[in-house]
Structure 1
């Protein structure tokens, strides 16, 4: 186990463990990045929530102790919110293990990451820090700066009352009459019911909503729902009145309740992120999908073009193998999430490929992407053979992309053997770039399941991250060395904290 002093002496993001080969260290880093992108501590198809949490906790502890600088640098990557919060908490809890230089870098990374996290998750993190009695000066400063940057603490006091109250107590935040920008916040949080009227619109609406039905829809939707139930408001009437103040996600969640007969929903699907849109599409029945084919397909393609950005049309000939087997149904906590990622990747890859040069193959043999469903075994090997067939004009694909949880079972192991023989004997010059992206964390293996040693595997959370993941995958494939990996992390940290150029 490395001491903090040994870590600090190793340079910005160089491998800190003396005597351990750099290649092994780089593999450990990539393993952790895959986990931090895909794992959420929730039940998956092949493992329960307890196994997921235990595996993830072990991995976090191992990487933090042995590669603290890289562990902190992970905050600059496209990891999910769950792991970002775990990293922030672990860094603040173990501040004594870091050098002065490390603490400065970690502080910048933590501040930048907290600014991107959803407010409910940040307030939950602050509550965990209070319960863990983490109250060092750096923690208080980070919490104070985050609260100071909030656009409207009055809004937070109404919507996240318990979280803001806990944070204010933990850092001894002054909420006296002369405090800025909201002198009423402290009174609202710690002495409710004392004021007959608040100057802040939302604070006063919350006061009036206890006895005045008209004030209910002035509140944030999640708060207004409770008051609406208390006043016995009809659901349809409440949703109609609350619509102007609902967020895009809240509108989506309540959309089916508000659609009556053939009336079109008032949610702009073309403005939704690609993977979230794919999840919504899969939540609809086959009849609804078929009836709204033009609308849904157009929205998916528009979202894919936005996600592709400058990369659109630049990937040449792209063949994809997309997993829609029964395991893509996910779990009760992550319903159809793997299939949603595959559907989103299907449309994104179509946008990334040259015009007319994309071919997507579903493991079930489905020919209509809009009507896919989790069904059947996972014949990855057979589909990979089909995907490696030359396209029009006899040209081999420039890229082969496999989107699957890696549970190849029809027959088991065929996909890995196909990829091994193809890479070693048919394409040793790597004319076709191959990558396997996996949306499911394997708790037993502390990583996402891989198909073959010669094909890079990267964890994926949202399809929108695919172009960036392909860059990371080249490190896993061995086409770039450990030094390049650490240099890449340095660039990402600099860009994330606003101290450098682009990565």
Structure 2
């Protein structure tokens, strides 16, 4: 009797049923969506479509595979979806997942995102014992509770009330009766109190808090930025660099220390002339960030070719401006660091990555042919998948290559897509014969290339479950907290 793919023809041996294969496909589809979509407007879909599509996937996977739904917290999903998963796990009946994994993920999320999650749980009346314990433990692990109380005072007060916590001493007074005391021993709390009447005190506060006091006191923007500069965080310096220069204030930014996609986004925000003038600085920063991300894997990936999408749709949307192009630019520099030999192929034909800009149609088919020429060890395609010049050519090229020219799969091919397609409920694929994985940050590229192998059909649900279990064990063994 012939056996179906993935099934065993021998009676008594464990079989992979079609239900198993569907499970594997569903979980991978959800993982790709959770990596790429943030519920915001994209080039081809509105914000409402993104949220509706993403909400359906969360409900579907949580309802059918609750254990795997919780385990996706161990993957490199974005914070928007991590918060949705945690809210669903805590707020719905039937298994709240591994509390250690939830705590690990909360510890890796930005504080504003966590406080917004706690506020949602409060609004929805989710106040079970596990929720209160998670809120308590997260607050207790914060490196500087007084700083949190100043930066996120309303949100922190709401979380403390919701979890029925008692904060002793100054912190409790500051949150619930801030003017009861005439003086605080904690410097940042005392600076906040004094800033109500003393202009000098506001420069001892975090930028986001000091900005409000500066407006209240009528302090000019240029003066404020110049004096608050020593208090700026790295990301605040990067965000403010351009506007500060317009106000005549120079803020020093250590670009090389920034995450790779943030550096790429910053570069793309600059005018072409500025990029050219600062070429040495910007390229050095991109390569330093890429080398840091590559780490010990630098130079170990052999001969790599990359097809990189800089078509007009790589603009993204007004709320995610140039995000797909920033991911492609960051992947370019990371692949350059990972590869032993490397060749980049931009859809526009541009030879200078630093001057990348969204332009023209998505000519994927011809560039994939160029990439496969010479049979590299790996071909990486970074694109939103809207192959339209002509439509379908990329899929046909990949089909013929896999079926006729390289049936032994000597060339590894992976498609990384930074955009979620709300209509199709997945990141858009180029071809069924090539695995596609969603990508948001270039730092995740090595892990996503590994995850993509599950989409090729050469590994099944047992291997996927084992992979998720290994990732969960690694995550819960590392309880690092993000400040």
Distance (whole Å) between structure 1 residues aligned to residue 401 and residue 338 of structure 2: 24
Distance (whole Å) between structure 2 residues aligned to residue 260 and residue 224 of structure 1: 20
Look up the match of 2:59.
Answer: 61
Distance (whole Å) between structure 2 residues aligned to residue 261 and residue 144 of structure 1: 43
Corresponding position: 1:416 with 2:414: no
Q: Taking structure 1 as reference, are residues 499 and 383 closer, same or farther at Cα in structure 2, changes over 3 Å only? A: closer
Distance (whole Å) between structure 1 residues aligned to residue 468 and residue 162 of structure 2: 33
**SS of structure 1 residue aligned to 2:477:** coil
Q: Is the CA contact (8 Å cut-off) linking 2:229 and 2:251 kept in structure 1?
A: no
Distance (whole Å) between structure 1 residues aligned to residue 243 and residue 385 of structure 2: 37
- Among 441, 448, 457, the residue aligned to 1:469: 448
Look up the match of 1:443.
Answer: 422
Corresponding position: 1:358 with 2:342: yes
- Structure-to-structure mapping, 1:393-408, within 5 angstroms: 396-408=375-387
Corresponding position: 1:241 with 2:239: no
TM-superposition CA deviations, 1:47-86 (whole Å, max 9, x none): 0000000000000010001111111001111000000000
**SS of structure 2 residue aligned to 1:195:** coil
Q: Is the CA contact (8 Å cut-off) linking 2:226 and 2:249 kept in structure 1?
A: no
Deviation at 1:236, TM superposition (A): 2.0
Q: Which moved more, 1:111-120 or 1:240-249?
A: 240-249
**SS of structure 2 residue aligned to 1:435:** strand
- Among 357, 361, 382, the residue aligned to 1:377: 361
- Among 122, 134, 141, the residue aligned to 2:114: 122
Relative contact order, higher structure (CA 8 A, sep 6+): 2
TM-superposition CA deviations, 1:114-134 (whole Å, max 9, x none): 000111111111010000000
Deviation at 1:263, TM superposition (A): 9.1
**SS of structure 2 residue aligned to 1:21:** helix
Distance (whole Å) between structure 2 residues aligned to residue 88 and residue 19 of structure 1: 30
Deviation at 1:144, TM superposition (A): 0.7
Distance (whole Å) between structure 2 residues aligned to residue 485 and residue 404 of structure 1: 25
Q: Taking structure 1 as reference, are residues 474 and 122 closer, same or farther at Cα in structure 2, changes over 3 Å only? A: same
Deviation at 1:258, TM superposition (A): 3.2
Q: Which moved more, 1:281-290 or 1:238-247?
A: 238-247
Deviation at 1:19, TM superposition (A): 7.6
**SS of structure 2 residue aligned to 1:321:** strand
Distance (whole Å) between structure 1 residues aligned to residue 314 and residue 394 of structure 2: 17
Tell me the TM-score normalized by structure 1.
Answer: 0.90
Q: Is the CA contact (8 Å cut-off) linking 2:196 and 2:213 kept in structure 1?
A: yes
Corresponding position: 1:255 with 2:248: no
Deviation at 1:350, TM superposition (A): 0.7
Corresponding position: 1:331 with 2:328: no
Corresponding position: 1:29 with 2:27: yes
Which structure 2 segments of 5+ residues have no match? Answer: 1-15
Distance (whole Å) between structure 2 residues aligned to residue 370 and residue 19 of structure 1: 49
Which structure 1 segments of 5+ residues have no match? Answer: 1-17, 391-395
Look up the match of 1:460.
Answer: 439
Distance (whole Å) between structure 2 residues aligned to residue 481 and residue 257 of structure 1: 51
Coordinate RMSD, CA, aligned: 1.6
Deviation at 1:264, TM superposition (A): 6.9
Look up the match of 1:486.
Answer: 465
Look up the match of 2:4.
Answer: none
Tell me the TM-score normalized by structure 2.
Answer: 0.94
Deviation at 1:39, TM superposition (A): 0.5
Distance (whole Å) between structure 2 residues aligned to residue 49 and residue 342 of structure 1: 22
Look up the match of 1:10.
Answer: none
